[in-house]
Structure 1
Amino acid sequence: MNNKHPFHIVDLSPWPLMNSLNLFNTVFLYLKFFKTPNDINMCMFMLTILIFTSFLWWRDICREGCYQGHHTFKVYLGMKISMIMFISSEIMFFFSFFWAYFHFSLSPEFEISNTWPPTGISVVNPYQIPMLNSIILISSGASVTWCHFSILHKKYYSSIFSLALTIFMGALFSGIQMMEYKMKDFVLNDNVYGSVFYKLTGFHGAHVTIGTIFLIINQIRLMNSQINNKHHFSLEAAAWYWHFVDVVWIYLYIFLYWWYSI
């Protein structure tokens, strides 16, 4: 029976329920992991199941849009608004951590010697590894914009190259971030500075990893001719997300690395 409206009535699917349950179990097990670090096998198993069910869910969505033609203009508009709302919620998420950072840094408590950073914490030179990571991440924002421009102008080889370059720079950023963590002389439980620093940079690093996976999926779809100049919302959404990650890093660099080093 033909629908008399432009909206897509989604078929029954087990993946949303399974994904939500797997996500809950994954978060619960990783919280438990902080107490018992030796129990990592179950965490990795649950994470693998989560990735697998997510892949099956995304596969069905790609099939609905590419082969069944369910993603009409109205559906596209709804997905666009949903992505904007999702990024807005992420902004609020980071805003809460920045609020905590400014609360403790602008009025340091007596317990941390009324100084910020606290006594015993050595500030990282912002013109070394943090500056290098800033150049890499901002450059990746330029390359993902290049990819979007290439798709709009039907330059598919250029779009494949520019997106691969973006993925490489995202992975390089994550690798350098891990190297920087190993060089730090303070850890997560070293007073409030260590807690706020690692939460801000760690959650940002997690978002970079998620964004890189998002871009890899779009690279696979692009190479399989599932993305073109008329049908490319998934890449557009990934580019929005990547630019959001770039902007958050600029604030992180200014306030966590540069501000207190001068």
Structure 2
Amino acid sequence: MSTAVPKGQAPYYFVPGPSRHPVMASIGLFFVILGAGQWVNGVGWGAYSLAFGLLWWAVVLTQWFGDAIRESESGLYSQRIDVSYRWAMAWFIFSEVMFFGAFFGALYWARMHVIPNLGSIDNALLWPDFKAIWPSDAPGYTASPAGTVEPFRTMGPWPLPTINTALLLTSGVTLTIAHHALLANQRAKTIGFMWITVLLGALFLGLQGYEYYEAYTHLNLKLSSGIYGSTFFMLTGFHGLHVFVGALMLLFITLRLQKGHFTPERHFGFEGAAWYWHFVDVVWLGLYVVVYWT
């Protein structure tokens, strides 16, 4: 334990004491799930429960992460803790790969198996006028054989998705420049390129919000627009959520850099956020090709 370690020397493996944070975070998540479940079912107080849970959760995470930062900056984290954090982040990103893999798999299965099977001779008596064509942008197509889904137009790759692709790829470059500057102990350069990276992430989110506005108002493309609409908003929406989380991570890392945190030798907090951001970039490239071009 740290009490038996000489001053200025990290313990062999730091074990924190009992903490209230896990229980408090669970309480916040309870109100989030309860409120979301009630809200989508038309219960008025569900939105307030959701907002309360998110606020509670944000406060708890702020305190929790603050404790971890203070432990790190006070020298309690040895190389073994650093290794454990790296493994934890690696497994977390792997779980995210599986998360998006499931959604890409659903899109693949719908396009390559479900729609051809529904258009086969076996279903001709059930839906004689069904057209097994992707994307499903008109009544009688895959969206709605009975015409219950309104006609819509699909979202093409130009201009907003292509601009967003350029923004994310550029942000990966600026983040890499910031990392190399940190390794060279050029703090001012690191902070400058980190702010550029955060700004590029914010621009991406702003353009994606405008893209959704265009989809709903001018293309009539909605979440209810058949299997095309549901998979489009599911994949791009979850990716946008991950961009938001990654941008927050980079923002707080930048603020920590301005406070003098991290050194060329010890900066896994920076590296973990960078790993996550590069993962987000790679996922978007897959989305850009599969969702917008094919």
Same fold by TM-score, threshold 0.5 exceeded?
yes
Show the 5 A alignment for 1:173-184.
173-184=204-215
Deviation, 1:134, is 0.2
Q: Is the 8 A contact 2:30 2:53 kept in 1?
A: no
In structure 1, list runs of 5 or more residues that go unmatched: none
Which residue number corresponds to residue 94 of structure 1? Answer: 100
In structure 2, list runs of 5 or more residues that go unmatched: 120-126, 139-151
Query: Which one of 1, 4, 10 corresponds to residue 2 of structure 1?
Result: 4
In 1, Cα distance between equivalents of 2:21 and 2:11:
26
Which residue number corresponds to residue 201 of structure 2? Answer: 170
Deviation, 1:190, is 1.6
Show the 5 A alignment for 1:110-149.
110=119, 113-120=131-138, 121-149=152-180
Structure with bigger helix share is 1
Q: Is the 8 A contact 2:11 2:78 kept in 1?
A: no
Deviation, 1:106, is 1.7
Deviation, 1:45, is 2.0
Larger radius of gyration, structure 1 or 2? 2
Count of residues paired in the alignment? 258
Q: TM-score, normalised by structure 2?
A: 0.84
2:70 paired with 1:35 = no
Q: Is the 8 A contact 1:150 1:159 kept in 2?
A: yes
In 2, Cα distance between equivalents of 1:149 and 1:38:
51
In 2, Cα distance between equivalents of 1:24 and 1:203:
21
Q: 1:143-193 CA deviation, whole Å, 9 max, x = no partner? A: 111111111101101111111001001011001001000111211122111
In 2, Cα distance between equivalents of 1:132 and 1:18:
41
Higher RCO (Cα < 8 Å, 6 or more apart):
1
Extract structure 1 runs of 4+ deviating beyond 6 A.
Answer: none
Q: Which amino acid aligns with 2:163?
A: L
Identity of aligned residues (%): 31
Deviation, 1:36, is 2.2
Q: Which amino acid aligns with 2:183?
A: L
Q: Which amino acid aligns with 2:277?
A: W
In 2, Cα distance between equivalents of 1:138 and 1:37:
42
Q: Is the 8 A contact 2:12 2:78 kept in 1?
A: yes
**3-state DSSP of counterpart to 1:9:** coil
Q: Is the 8 A contact 2:31 2:52 kept in 1?
A: no
User: Which range is displaced more, 173-182 or 111-120?
Assistant: 111-120
Q: Which amino acid aligns with 2:85?
A: M
Structure-2 change in CA distance of 1:132 and 1:47 (3 Å): same
Q: TM-score, normalised by structure 1?
A: 0.93
**3-state DSSP of counterpart to 1:186:** coil
**3-state DSSP of counterpart to 2:77:** coil
